[in-house]
Amino acid sequence: MQDWQRSVIYQIYPKSFHSHAGNPTGDLLGVVAKLDYLQWLGVDCLWITPFLRSPQRDNGYDISDYYAIDPSYGTMADCELLIAEAGKRGIKLMLDIVVNHTSIEHTWFQQARSSLDNPYRDFYIWRDQPNNWESKFGGSAWEYEAQTGQYFLHLFDHTQADLNWDNPKVRAEVFKMMRFWRDKGVGGFRLDVINLISKPADFPEDDTDGRRFYTDGPNVHEYLQQMHREVFEGHDLINVGEMSSTSLEHCIRYSAPESKELSMTFNFHHLKVDYPNLQKWIRADFDFLQLKRILSDWQTGMQAGGGWNALFWCNHDQPRVVSRFGHDGEHRVVSAKMLGTALHFLQGTPFVYQGEELGMTNPGFDHIDQYRDVETLNIFRLKREAGASDAENMAAIMQKSRDNGRTPMHWNTEPNAGFSTVEPWIGVPANAQTINVASQLDDPDSVLHHYRRLIALRRSEALMSDGVYRQLLPEHLQLWVYVREGDGERLLVLNNFYGSPCEVELPDDVISETMAQRLVISNYPDCPSRNRQIFLRPYESFVLHLTD
Ligand code: GLC
């Protein structure tokens, strides 16, 4: 087992983490200032979303210089200090690498657009006529470039031009840049939408949005193996690929050690269970059975195939999980703890997104002026043009917008939740007064202390990393029950996903009176029901270690 298979990774969205300089946006020194907190929490590694030079149209996922720190985040010296100070605390730093595309302000694109025979022209993807592929942020995936009379491909915003990975010079430049950061001392990479880098040469189309043609595309495994040889081999790095609309088969290949590609993969299938017919921008409840089915299929499938999952509920592109699959009213604390337990006992490497460990909620912004995200603003405009009412538009946005997860971290009850001394770039939810680090540090029953226990358990409970996953009661409409099994022992993980109590009987090969029992963690102060007949209170969740 590799170290990172027993690790917990914490995700920082630096724009909203902490502003040391007292600006509307956070900075790298703000992260340095909070390293003691992160060490106390017990995480092994930080994934920091992009802080390289960028026009910030997509909050740093539109990089214009891979070798420079964006001035809003600080300087290269600040970055070096962060790597060193994190290292002193035993914490690695994972750099977020965005190489499916660059900003159109990158010099490569500036060169490429200037003439048809510019040496950089072939760094990007140009066509005389667009096909019908759609941008993931709405509208066509092709933008006309008047100066040279061709269209360039952008799977995201029209200011994020897709790189042409079939050009060996592009790959050489990307690997060189990654070696630069590796040699600066980063402990690994998070690779943004990395399964989209290989497009079929003939750009086929049908009546879909085109994703099936370029997702896990023809040469993607070959390019990742080359990256492995040229950047990772012989170095102790954690490399996580973000995989958009991927498949289990491909994720096994991306992450199985013998493929020599990546350490682990993120996929999003379990976060589409509230997208009716895969339509994101419709307000809808989540489908609990589907959630269990998808996560269980990925658990057993990845384990059988020798792959490794990156486990997560939240990130900077997702709403807050307690508002999504839990209860952000009276059951907030208990349901946030339940969700933490349900995720952390799965096989894979858990990721905690800033504020998740506090049970932060969606902010409930009900006016479009409160939103900043390019995807949200594009969709609002496109749906309005298509005739949707603002009320219908806002209902979906309040539930689904990426800004739900991007509001400033709640540190304390000072102005702006202690995030900055000036008004932040995006609003601070009113509940920061009650949900914040300072108050939870003092409260051993807080969501924060529960997460700290979950993180520590990964080191002491070996079955959390290597136990075999088996789901029980797959059709149960309110409980997610699973075991992680080893030789003659198991962890039994019970989670009530709803606000009503519930009783079930478990099979006696899982739990019986002759087995030795140990309570590993629970989200209620007591845990009375520890036999085959289990009674769970609202959102109750607990884990028993059982030995035959
Ligand atoms: C990834 C990022 C997201 C970004 C997109 C385009 O999905 O997580 O924030 O907008 O890629 O780079």
Residue 374 CA: which ligand 1 atom is closest? 10
Q: Does the beta carbon of 192 sit less than 6 angstroms from any atom of ligand 1?
A: yes
CA 59 / ligand 1 centre spacing (Å): 9
Asked whether this chain's domains 6-98+310-340+349-365+401-464 and 107-160 adopt the same fold, the reply is no
Q: How far is CA 466 from the centre of its chain?
A: 22
Residue closest via CA to ligand 1's atom 12 equals: 61
Q: Does the beta carbon of 99 sit less than 6 angstroms from any atom of ligand 1?
A: no
Q: Which residues are catalytic?
A: 192, 242
The string of pLDDT tens digits covering residues 211-228 is 999 999 999 999 999 999
The conformation of residue 140, written as its DSSP 8-state character, comes to B
**What whole-number distance in Å separates Cα of residue 243 and Cα of residue 250?**
9
Regarding pTM above 0.85, the answer is yes
Within a 10 A sphere around the Cβ of 412, how many other Cβ atoms? 16
Residue spans per domain, the chain: 6-98+310-340+349-365+401-464, 107-160, 467-547
Per-residue confidence (pLDDT) for residue 1, from 0 to 100: 86
Q: Give yes or no for residue 529 having a pLDDT over 80.
A: no
Q: Does the beta carbon of 193 sit less than 6 angstroms from any atom of ligand 1?
A: yes
Residue 157 CA: which ligand 1 atom is closest? 6
Tokens standing for residue 507: 């099979």
Question: Which whole-number Å values give the CA distances from 525 to 162, 179, 334, 445, 448, in the listed order?
Answer: 52, 49, 11, 8, 15
CA 265 / ligand 1 centre spacing (Å): 15
- Beta-bridged to residue 96, according to DSSP, are 190
CA 197 / ligand 1 centre spacing (Å): 13
3-class SS of residue 21 = coil
- Average pLDDT of the chain, as a whole number: 97
Q: Does the beta carbon of 96 sit less than 6 angstroms from any atom of ligand 1?
A: no
CATH pick for 6-98+310-340+349-365+401-464 out of 3.30.10.20, 3.30.428.10, 3.20.20.80, 3.30.9.10:
3.20.20.80
User: Could you tell me the sign of the dihedral formed by the alpha carbons of 251, 253, 257, 261, in that order?
Assistant: negative
Within a 10 A sphere around the Cβ of 10, how many other Cβ atoms? 24
Q: Does the beta carbon of 156 sit less than 6 angstroms from any atom of ligand 1?
A: yes
The fraction of the chain above a pLDDT of 70, given in percent, is 100
pLDDT band with cut points at 50, 70 and 90 for residue 64:
very high
* Continuous H helices in 54-152: 76-88, 107-114
Q: Does the beta carbon of 133 sit less than 6 angstroms from any atom of ligand 1?
A: no
For residue 467, the one-letter residue type is: G
- Region 535-546: mean pLDDT is 97
Q: Is 238 in contact with 263 (CB distance < 8 Å)? A: yes
Q: Is 162 in contact with 118 (CB distance < 8 Å)? A: no
Q: Vertex 88, ends 83 and 90: CA angle to 5°?
A: 90
- Region 515-543: mean pLDDT is 93
Residue 244 CA: which ligand 1 atom is closest? 7
Q: Does the beta carbon of 240 sit less than 6 angstroms from any atom of ligand 1?
A: no
- Region 491-497: mean pLDDT is 98
**What whole-number distance in Å separates Cα of residue 451 and Cα of residue 359?**
10
Q: Does the beta carbon of 58 sit less than 6 angstroms from any atom of ligand 1?
A: yes
- Contacts of 224 by beta carbon, 8 Å cutoff, 6+ apart: 194, 241, 254, 261, 262
- Region 497-511: mean pLDDT is 95
- Region 201-219: mean pLDDT is 97
- Region 512-541: mean pLDDT is 92
Pairing mode of beta strands 150-153, 126-127: antiparallel
pLDDT band with cut points at 50, 70 and 90 for residue 355:
very high
Per-residue confidence (pLDDT) for residue 530, from 0 to 100: 78
Residue 155 CA: which ligand 1 atom is closest? 6
3-class SS of residue 386 = coil
- Contacts of 311 by beta carbon, 8 Å cutoff, 6+ apart: 343, 344, 346, 348, 349, 350, 351
CA 293 / ligand 1 centre spacing (Å): 26
The 10 Å CB-count burial string (b at 16+, else e) for 48-75 is: bbbbbbbebbbbbbbbbebeebbebbbe
Which of these, 69, 15, 81, lies nearest to 419 by C-alpha position?
Answer: 15
Per-residue confidence (pLDDT) for residue 527, from 0 to 100: 82
Question: Which whole-number Å values give the CA distances from 371 to 351, 364, 395, 428, in the listed order?
Answer: 25, 11, 13, 12
- Region 244-255: mean pLDDT is 98
Per-residue confidence (pLDDT) for residue 528, from 0 to 100: 77
Instruction: Give backbone dihedrals phi and psi of 379, rounded to 5 degrees, phi first.
Output: -65, -40
Q: Give yes or no for residue 331 having a pLDDT over 80.
A: yes
Q: Is 261 in contact with 225 (CB distance < 8 Å)? A: yes
Q: Give yes or no for residue 135 having a pLDDT over 80.
A: yes
Residue 62 CA: which ligand 1 atom is closest? 12
Judged by average pLDDT, the poorest of 175-179, 233-237, 426-430, 523-527 is: 523-527
- Contacts of 38 by beta carbon, 8 Å cutoff, 6+ apart: 10, 46, 89, 91
**What whole-number distance in Å separates Cα of residue 174 and Cα of residue 312?**
27
Judged by average pLDDT, the poorest of 247-256, 315-324, 501-510 is: 501-510
- Beta-bridged to residue 471, according to DSSP, are 482
Q: Is 338 in contact with 495 (CB distance < 8 Å)? A: yes
Domain 467-547 in CATH: superfamily? Golgi alpha-mannosidase II (2.60.40.1180)
Per-residue confidence (pLDDT) for residue 441, from 0 to 100: 98
Per-residue confidence (pLDDT) for residue 280, from 0 to 100: 96
CATH class of the structural domain 107-160: alpha beta
Q: Terminal CA-to-CA distance of the chain, rounded, Å?
A: 25
Per-residue confidence (pLDDT) for residue 234, from 0 to 100: 97
Q: Is 456 in contact with 42 (CB distance < 8 Å)? A: yes
- Region 179-196: mean pLDDT is 98
3-class SS of residue 389 = coil
Which of these, 109, 38, 103, lies nearest to 70 by C-alpha position?
Answer: 103
Please state whether 74 falls in left (phi above 0), alpha (psi between -120 and 50) or beta: left
